């Protein structure tokens, strides 16, 4: 099992999509502690977790990893949900494209489950309006 290949299969298209926006929106992945210095700056956090590495079957063990993907969009609080929802749409489009990608003979084959959310929150103490979606994923590394 190649965890890094799975992570890359999820992270790369999302990073490309947010970097392609004008202006580009900063994206932070797991184990990166930096956040934009200006607390009201919008940004995206993408977290990938692994739940199962393989699934034993009657005949063999299939290297189907399973896990969860959480995308949080941070936009300025008190300005309505529009900007947050625009960025969420960018993420959802990427996820739907991933699901429509045909299986190849090499690389990582990825399928996502239903997308939960978005849910929105804005706590008293925090400067951001946070939109959040999550989904399950199943991945097989073919090479």
Partner 1 sequence: MASTAGQFNRQLRRQVQSAARHAAAEIMNDLAKAGPLWGGEFANSWVANAPGVGQGRQASYPYTIRDTPNLPDTIKAVARNTKLVIVNTTDYAMQAMDLEEGYFIDPGTDPLGPVVLEGNRYGRMRTDISSGDGNARSTAPKDWFVTYVNGGGMQKSLGNGVRIAFAREN
Question: Does the footprint of partner 1 cover residue 42 (CB under 8 A)?
Answer: no
CA-based nearest residue to 139, from 49, 41, 60, 73: 49
Among 91, 128, 131, 141, binds partner 1 (CB under 8 A): 128
Residue closer to partner 1 by CB (options 26, 113) is 113
Question: Does the footprint of partner 1 cover residue 30 (CB under 8 A)?
Answer: yes
Among 4, 40, 51, 97, binds partner 1 (CB under 8 A): 51
Residue closer to partner 1 by CB (options 78, 143) is 78
Kindly tell me the number of DSSP H helices and DSSP E strands found in the chain: 2, 7
Beta bridge partners, 64, equal 140
46, 85, 116 from 56: Cα distances, Å: 29, 40, 28
- Cα(114)–Cα(98) distance, rounded to whole angstroms? 13
Query: Closest approach of Cβ 69 to partner 1, in Å?
Result: 8
CA-based nearest residue to 2, from 69, 59, 64, 79: 64
Residue closer to partner 1 by CB (options 20, 40) is 40
Residue 69 sits at the vertex; the CA angle it makes with 67 and 73, to the nearest 5 degrees, is: 165
- Which string of x and - marks every residue 66-105 that binds partner 1 (by CB under 8 A)? xxx-x-----------------------------------
Binding site for partner 1 (CB under 8 A): 30, 33, 35, 47, 49-52, 66-68, 70, 113, 119, 121, 123, 125-126, 128, 130, 132, 134-137
């Amino acid at each position: 099992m190649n965890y890094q290949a799975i992570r890359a299969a999820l992270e790369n298209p999302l990073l490309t999509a947010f970097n392609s926006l004008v202006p580009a929106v900063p994206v932070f992945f797991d184990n990166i502690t930096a956040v934009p210095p200006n607390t009201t700056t919008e940004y995206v956090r993408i977290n990938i977790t692994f739940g199962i590495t393989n699934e034993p079957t009657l005949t063999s063990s299939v290297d189907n990893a399973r896990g969860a993907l959480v995308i949080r969009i941070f936009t300025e609080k008190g300005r309505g949900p529009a900007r947050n929802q625009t960025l969420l749409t960018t993420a959802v489009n990427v996820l739907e494209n991933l699901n429509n990608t045909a299986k190849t003979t090499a690389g990582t084959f990825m399928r996502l489950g239903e997308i939960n959310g978005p849910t929105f929150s804005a706590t008293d103490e925090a400067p951001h309006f946070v939109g959040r979606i999550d989904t399950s994923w199943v991945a097989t590394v073919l090479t």
